[in-house]
Amino acid sequence: MDRRSWIENCARAAGAASIVGGLQLALPRRGWSAEAQPKENRDTKPLTITDIKTILTAPAKIRLVVVKVLTSEPGLHGVGCATFTQRARVVETAIDRYLRPFLVGKNALDIQDIFQSSYLSSYWRNGPVLNNAISGVDMALWDILGKRAGVPVYQLFGGRCRKAVDTYRHASGASFEEVADKVAALVAEGQRHVRVQMSVEGLATYGAGRQPGAPEDDRRPQVWDPKPYVLMVPKLFEHLRKKFGDKVELLHDVHERVPPILGVQLVKDLEQFRPFFVEDPFSPEDIGYFKHLRQQASTPIAMGELFNSPHEWLGLVSDRLIDFIRVHISQMGGLTMAKKMAAMCEFFSVRTAWHGPGDTSPVGHAANVHLDLAAPNFGIQEARVFTDAEREVFPGCPELKDGYLWANDQPGLGIDIDEKAAAKYPIQDDPPFDFRWGELRRADGTVTKP
């Protein structure tokens, strides 16, 4: 018996199915022969990338960058998030002028090779502009693969580990009572986890909104002093624990704004109030402090929003110095990199908590959800309520119900972009980037981290 006949007999004996490249392909039952099949089924042409489009839109007044990858199969395309909102035009240039000509004509199913070759294509690597450009293409290719296979992307990652994705949302205010009222409102909507932030009078406090009376486009230097903030946050947690007990998990984001030694003190002071996690007590430049922090407090720590390179997180994970990995998936290289990161973190009991703010497009949120559903070590997902304009531009947005995000189970990422609707919400190029990030200063005029 020749090799081909042996393979055919095995297929018949198996009854129907074989696993090829991680996808389940149906094989006809008895009576099938290769010669009886149409020639095009046996000599399948590669699915090539025919074009890559960059779409800039701001339906919620936040600059979003979305990538659309078109293929040689009519009607088959994928979408991905490449949003670097502070440098949207630079990412657009990286995609249109460099990645597009490099990738057109390549096999759209060679996701790993495209990721690796794109990553090395500029020689200088590990920067947020290149990473976001690659991420947008990478997510779009996973979207295409899911559509081609007829399954949601999470099935390509091994299937669901859970039915839906638990989330947290944000509660902020100018007083303990105002924050508590907003926490209570979110709990009533089904949230079990809430991030709490409170403004410090006279200071530009992160996560607590603009100072009263400040215009929306406020380019004036903003004043920040970490000491009053570090003294206030434990009092906020004490107030909320007295009001809610342990009925709700409380989170807080330091946002790298304090000197490392004050970050250590704040995390120690919060330990008694059992936060679900404290995010970014140090900046990426100060990650050496995590080993000192771990020796002094058991408060769970989330880190990674600003990471670009594996060198920034590998040691923190392998040395068990953080508890949640908090990266912005479009800044780290897309789903290809994020699923590798999640797999490594699983072996060190580090849970995922992907970044999910307004400057992650709904496409990026959909990508987060698919990875959340498939990751055994999922922890929590930052969520937002999409505006009507965002839903118009991005049909298929994940649904938030009772504190959970739900995928719609359509093939691929289950989301698309309506280009005509997107054109109704152009990005604003004035200012060309967010000046406020570079205008946070101490009272004496010294610039500080945002």
Interval 342-369: pLDDT, tens: 999 999 999 999 999 999 999 999 999 9
What's 97's DSSP letter? Answer: I
Q: What is the pLDDT of residue 189?
A: 96
- Which tokens hold the place of 443? 């009272």
147 and 264 belong to one structural domain: no
Alpha helix stretches (DSSP H) within 217-325: 226-244, 260-270, 290-294, 310-318
pLDDT category of residue 8 using cuts at 50, 70 and 90: low
How high is the mean pLDDT of the chain? 90
Token pair of 323, please?
Answer: 């508890």
pTM over the 0.75 mark? yes
Query: Looking at the domain assignment, is residue 431 inside a domain?
Result: no
pLDDT at residue 37 in the model = 42
State which residues form the domain around 119.
49-154
pLDDT category of residue 327 using cuts at 50, 70 and 90: very high
Q: Judge whether residue 175 has pLDDT over 80.
A: yes
Pair 268, 291: CB distance under 8 Å: no
Query: Residue 137: which of 195, 190, 79 has the closest Cα?
Result: 79
213, part of any domain: yes
Q: Which of 23-37, 96-110, 188-202 has the lowest mean pLDDT?
A: 23-37
Q: What is the pLDDT of residue 42?
A: 40
Q: For residue range 266-311, what is the model confidence (pLDDT) as tens digits? A: 999 999 999 999 999 999 999 999 999 999 999 999 999 999 999 9
Q: Which of 101, 120, 154 is the last residue of a domain?
A: 154
The reported pLDDT for the residue numbered 369 is 98
Co-location of 230 and 350 in the same domain: yes
Q: Over the stretch 394-435, which tens digit does the pLDDT of each residue have?
A: 999 999 999 999 999 999 999 999 999 999 999 998 877 777
Phi, psi angles (nearest 5°) of residue 101: -65, -25
Asked if residue 387 has pLDDT above 70, the reply is: yes
Task: Examine residue 30 and state whether it is found in any structural domain, yes or no.
Answer: no
pLDDT tens-digit map of 112-138: 999 999 999 999 988 999 999 999 999
Query: Residue 93 domain-assigned?
Result: yes
Taking the C-alpha atoms of residue 224 and residue 196, their distance in angstroms, rounded to an integer, is: 19
User: For the chain, how many structural domains are there in total?
Assistant: 2
Q: What is the CATH number of the domain that holds 231?
A: 3.20.20.120
Q: How confident is the model at residue 162 (pLDDT cuts 50, 70, 90)?
A: very high
Catalytic residues: 206, 255
Residue 256, in any domain of the structure: yes
From start to end of 138-294, where are the E strands? 165-173, 193-198, 222-223, 249-253, 277-279
Q: Which two tokens stand for residue 157?
A: 């990652």
pLDDT score at 211: 54
pLDDT at 9: 52
Are 147 and 225 in the same domain?
Answer: no
pLDDT (0 to 100) of residue 66: 98
Give me the pLDDT at residue 36, please: 39
pLDDT band at 13 (very low <50, low <70, confident <90, very high): very low
